Amino acid sequence: MLTRMREVIGQRTFDEGLFRQLFFSKLPQQVQAVLVTFNNNPVDELASSADRILEITRTRDNQVYSITEKPQATENEVTKLCNALSRFLDLKERHRPDDSRRRSTSRRRSSSRP
């Protein structure tokens, strides 16, 4: 990417600080997070470090993507579980005794007690 940016600029003069910011902003966020502490290094060093970071993260990303479920399948499972929970709560509500039946009237005292 750095090489391509320099090709586009060509022989024109360009502020080095602005060029650095532009280059940095075009990097993936995870790469920016790692390189932010090395922001004062020359742009060429940042570019080679970014390349190494991307090589490592691409390998890890491929491994992660190959073992994860598709989001749609997970979303369908969540929807099914929500529907089942709603049905359960509806049934529970229907079978709950009415408040009038649950309340007991005050008991009379037994005649055997003084």
Per residue in 3-57, pLDDT (tens digit) is 777 677 777 777 778 878 888 888 888 888 988 888 888 888 888 898 888 888 7
Mean pLDDT in residue range 88-99: 79
CB 39 within 8 A of CB 24: yes
d(CA 87, CA 95): 12
Mean pLDDT in residue range 97-107: 58
Mean pLDDT in residue range 68-78: 71
Single-letter code of the amino acid located at 42: P
Tokens matching residue 101: 């039946």
Burial class (CB in 10 A: 0-12, 13-18, 19+), 46: buried
